[in-house]
Amino acid sequence: MHKLYTFLKYTFITLWTVFIVAPFLWAISTSFKDFQSVNSKVTYIPWLDFEPTLEGWRVLVKSPARGGVDIVEPYFNSIFVTCTASLISIILGTLAAYALSRFTFKAGFVRNNDITFFFISQRIMPPIVLSIPFFIFLSTIGLLDSLLGLVVVYIVLLMPIAVWIMVDFFNRVPKELDETALIDGCNPYQAFYKVVLPNSIPGLIVAGMFCIIFGWIDFFFAFILTFTEVQLLPVKVVALNSSITPWWSLSASALISVAPLIIVAFVVERYLSKGNLSGALK
């Protein structure tokens, strides 16, 4: 019985791993192919099945002379916008969440839970609803087609996630912890950053991870709110496509687009395996 269980477990894990890894292997392989190797017969292994070429990668950095697009600048634009918006969202979101978790607010019929729901409701709404308001808003304040404009819009999108995760997290940090810190001689701000915040690192990491993922993968707003001055990675990757689909450079760009998230995943995984996040994730 036990052996059967172990066997099934490992079979399942193996299949699942293949399912996850295979597309990556396929993309890595394809990124080194040329037109011939992609469009003739099916090929798998470099040097054996086909002669590898760096063409797919080269078009990503060189100027668009040979049907390629320069994605280096959009890449750093994306990193800048995602990191800045995530950082600001986490800072503002954590402060808002702490207040919502610890203090009681009343405004007419509005209570803490309503305010929390207001934040979450921003994500329930389909994004397309916001496209025209955002467009008009950014053009009014002159931030259309600019990095700063995108940061502003992404904060609106990411802060609800941070608030949502952190309210839930703070609610599970016992109130006695803050009270003890007050009794031990902290003022309320010190109690927050000396005691509550260090205890909330798992929550901050989870919130940060979600912000980075959702910021990084957004195509919709990047597509609508930018034109020529500023472009973000997802938009530029799509622009790679043309009448002849360049599978090799699309594969290469897919791989480098995923790379930062894989790094984030590895960093977070270290905390996950320590069991520190068990409470933060449920």
Partner 1 sequence: MELIMAKIDLSNISHTYNPSDPNPTYALNPFSMTWENGKRYAILGPSGCGKTTMLNIVSGLVKPSKGKILFDENDVTNLITEERNIAQVFQFPVIYNTMTVYDNLAFPLKCRDFSKEKIEERVKSVSDTLRLSSFLNLPARKLTADQKQLISLGRGLVREDVAGVLMDEPLTVIDPDLKFRLRRNLKEINEQYKTTLVYVTHDQNEAMTFADNIIVMDQGEIVQVGLPKDLFERPKTTFVGYFIGSPAMNIFESEVSSDYSVKINNIEIKTNSNLSKIKDKNVKLGIRSEFINVAEKEGQNTIKALLTRVEDFGNFKLLTANMGDFVIKSKVNREMPISHGDINLYIPPEKCCVYINEKLI
The answer to whether residue 193 forms part of the interface with partner 1 (CB under 8 A) is: no
At its nearest, how many Å lie between partner 1 and the CB of residue 178? 9
Q: Rounded distance, CA 66 to CA 108, Å?
A: 63
Options 183, 259, 262, 267; binder of partner 1; rule CB under 8 A: 183
Verify binding: residue 79, partner 1, rule CB under 8 A. Answer: no
Q: Which of 187, 241, 245, 278 touches partner 1 (CB under 8 A)?
A: 187
73 binds partner 1 (CB under 8 A): no
What DSSP designation does 1 have? Answer: -
Nearer to partner 1, 9 or 194 (CB): 194
Looking at residue 121, its amino acid is: S
Minimum distance of partner 1 from residue 202's CB (angstroms): 10
The single residue among 83, 95, 148, 182 that binds partner 1, judged by CB under 8 A, is 182
Does 114 contact partner 1 by CB under 8 A? Answer: no
Residue 82 and residue 158: Cα distance in Å, rounded? 10
Residue 117 zone, left/alpha/beta (φ > 0; ψ -120 to 50; rest): alpha
Q: Which phi and psi (to 5°) does residue 50 adopt?
A: -150, 160
Interface with partner 1, residue 279, by CB under 8 A: no
Interface with partner 1 includes 102 (CB under 8 A)? no
Scanning 17-25, 60-68, 177-185, 238-246 for contacts with partner 1 by CB under 8 A, the matching segment is: 177-185
Q: Give phi and psi for 110, each to the nearest 5.
A: -80, 130
State how far the Cα of 195 lies from the Cα of 178, in Å rounded to an integer. 7
Amino acid at 101: S
Query: Is residue 21 a contact residue for partner 1 (CB under 8 A)?
Result: no
Interface positions, 195-214, toward partner 1 (CB under 8 A): 195, 198-199, 201
Two tokens, residue 16: 């699942």
Q: Which of 170, 163, 195, 171 is nearest to 96 (CA)?
A: 163
Instruction: Please report how close the Cβ of residue 268 comes to partner 1 at its closest, in angstroms.
Output: 18
- 278 scored as a contact of partner 1 (CB under 8 A): no
Which tokens sit at 82?
Answer: 């995602």
**Which is it for the CA torsion 13, 15, 21, 25, positive or negative?**
positive
* Contact positions vs partner 1 (CB under 8 A): 174, 176-177, 179-180, 182-188, 190, 195, 198-199, 201
